Chains A and B, each alone.
Chain A
Amino acid sequence: MSRGTRTPWWAPYLFIAPFAVAFCVFTAYPLFESIVMAFLQTSGPKRSEYVGLSNFSWMWEDPDFHKAVRNTVIFACGSIFIQLPCSLGLALLLNRPDIKGRAFWRMIFFAPSLVGLAFVAILAGLVFEKNTGLLNVALHQVIWFDPEFPWLQEYVMPALIISAFWMYVGFNMVYFLAALQNVNTDLLEAAQVDGAGPLHRFRHVTIPAIRPVATFVILLSLIGSFQLFELPYLLLNNSGGPDNQGLTIVMYLYQKGFDWGDLGYASAVGWVLALLLSVFAIIQRILSKTEVA
């Protein structure tokens, strides 16, 4: 076959053009610019002053930044150690061959993730209200829970983790459910015949089969958790909440960059965040490589 003779040379360039242009203008150039900006102190997009490394040293010493990092890590742990196991549990239940109405259950569990974070935050603002909020009223009726439990005053992080749990538990379940299709049922049956108990089969047959998707979901959760913004920002009325209890890294970035107008400092925060995330990505890559070997 005479390959390529009839292909005009410009065709691939025409097709890649939208990506190339948008990438250069709105990703590559800003990325380059943000390296420069990280060493500047600015007020608004117009005025700026070179300050060397002092953006980073200020961050290193700012107790608010420490709080933001701590809160973000707590939230990420909540996602990975509470939410994901529940997602996997639900997926295992729905994956049973004798389950009735699988699509129906999946639809219900999946629905909250269609609601935007901003709207979940607005709804959560009412649900977690002291005295009158749905959660305290319901818990009081069912288990005599303290109706004055101060979620949004003293327990902001648990409130955030619960909100995110409601929103994403079904979303992550969908990934696990898809991954469970890769589990070799012959192998499961063979293990059963050989007398392996359910826990044993889960550990040695199911887990290895879903491992690639599981590491992907964990990485996705980490990246999402580390960029948490809308939920606390709107739940706590555009602030970090009492005592900055709900301040996250991206909220901190937003406050410095857009409330204070120091885009230089915000860029520096952005680079620290990117560095943290790339560490996770590298760890994930190493982990998935050693599994293959």
Chain B
Amino acid sequence: MFRKLAVYTPLTLFAAITLVPFLYLACSSLKTNDVFFSSPFLPIDSAWWDINWSGLTLDNFKRLFQEAGIGRAIVNSFFFASTMAVLGTLGSAMGGYALAKFNFLGRGMFTNIVLTALIIPGALLLAPGYKVLYTLGLLDSYAGLILPGVAPAFGVFLFRQAFVSGLPTEMMEAGRIDGCGEVRMFFQLALPMVRPMVGAFLLITYLGTWNNFIGPQIVLQTPEKYPLAVAVAQLRGPYGSEYGMIMAGTIVAILPVLILFLMLQKDFIAGLTAGSVKG
């Protein structure tokens, strides 16, 4: 009994610390500005059980779509994250496939480049990357955000590991003897063999892109092009004192991915730990 208490008390405490901010966020987004500070959670009149139901409203969400144009930002985020996830996964899988399954001039060099690129801090590339995008005329466009990420070194590395252990070379030999073309073989034979990695990497890239703030903040200049991360942060300009609006914006931005990823958490966690634990 005492042992059980010693295990479940800290777990429950931590779970409460984790969940309370979500509850706070949800309650805040439903409050009108007049009652916003009457209590931390649901608006109350005199005591905590005396809930002031008239202080609750869906107005914040309505105004978010009608005045602040958050619908557009949702579409932008959806487009940005989906495109990036599909292209990034495809490019990574192709690169990893080449390094794992072919003997070619330059293979050692490319493998070393991938390993070196893994440790280059992203912040180092901010200033010169901006200049390159300027030179190529890609500023203020989604091409400027997506093209640099079509084959991240991290992904190439993960897929290389996956193909080395997950795709028998004999299968490829058999395919070639049967007259299967190289491109068809990649899509129909190789990719299905590393399906767990494909799923995990799609998820990781989707989430990372959805939550990316600094990239769009630097590259995009037209407000209509902003994805949610930037658009919600910008709400604090015109709606600086309307906390309910800002919290509603935050909910709209995090709820879709939160639900999606909690449903798929098994694959997601498998993807996260793939690079480290297996070594």
**Which positions in A face B, CB cutoff 8 Å?**
1, 3-4, 6-9, 11-20, 22-23, 25-27, 29-31, 33-34, 37, 45, 89-90, 93-94, 96, 99, 105-112, 114-119, 121-123, 126-127, 132, 134, 137-138, 166, 169-170, 174-175, 178-179, 181-182, 212-213, 216-217, 223, 226-227, 229-230, 234, 237, 249-250, 253-254, 257-258, 263-264, 266-267, 270-271, 273-274, 277-278, 281
Contact = CB atoms under 8 A, between A and B. Distances in A.
A278 B29 CA distance: 43
B153 A110 contact: no
Contacts of B99: 16
Nearest to B101: A12
A12 B243 CA distance: 54
Nearest to A2: B173
Nearest to A92: B7
A3 B173 contact: yes
Given A15-B94, A15-B102, A229-B123, 9 more contacts: A9-B104, A12-B104, A15-B97, A27-B117, A106-B269, A175-B272, A178-B277, A270-B121, A270-B125
A212 B279 contact: yes
Contacts of B186: 15
Interface stretch (B51-59, B60-68, B192-200, B252-260): B252-260
Contacts of A274: 120-121, 124
Contact of A19 (B10, B121, B156, B265): B156
B47 interface: no
B142 interface: no
A267 B129 CA distance: 10
Contacts of A253: 123, 126-127
* Residue of A14, A15, A20, A31 ringed by the most chain B CB atoms within 10 A: A15
13 contacts: A3-B173, A14-B94, A30-B128, A31-B120, A45-B130, A110-B265, A132-B37, A213-B277, A253-B126, A253-B127, A263-B127, A270-B125, A270-B126
B171 interface: no
Given A13-B104, A31-B124, A273-B124, A122 B147 contact: no
A15 B107 CA distance: 12
Nearest to B136: A25
B104 A114 contact: no
Contacts of B130: 45, 257-258, 263
A216 B276 contact: yes
Contacts of B243: 126
B213 A116 contact: yes
Contacts of B37: 132
Contacts of B102: 7, 11-12, 15
Interface string B94-134: 11011100111011001001100101111111111111101
Given A11-B102, A111-B262, A277-B119, A23 B124 contact: no
The 6 closest A-B pairs by CB, nearest first: A116-B211, A12-B102, A30-B128, A15-B98, A19-B95, A26-B148
Contacts of A229: 123, 214
A33 B40 CA distance: 51
B273 A37 contact: no
Given A11-B182, A227-B123, A16 B247 contact: no
Contacts, number: 262
A22 B150 contact: yes
Contacts of B20: 134, 138
A138 B41 CA distance: 11
B18 A19 contact: no
B213 A93 contact: no
A95 to B, nearest CB: 11
Contacts of B276: 175, 178, 213, 216-217
B119 A134 contact: no
Given A8-B182, A30-B132, A115-B258, A281 B119 contact: yes
Nearest to B257: A114
Interface string B1-32: 00000010011001101111110110010000
Contacts of A217: 276
A93 B6 CA distance: 10
B218 interface: yes
B107 A234 contact: no
B182 A137 contact: no
Contact of B131 (A12, A15, A107, A263): A263
Nearest to A171: B272
A237 B94 contact: no
B277 A122 contact: no
A283 to B, nearest CB: 13
B14 A90 contact: yes
A33 B132 contact: yes
B246 interface: yes
A111 B173 contact: no
B211 A105 contact: no
Contact of A108 (B19, B119, B123): B19
Contacts of A37: 127-128, 131
A254 B130 CA distance: 12
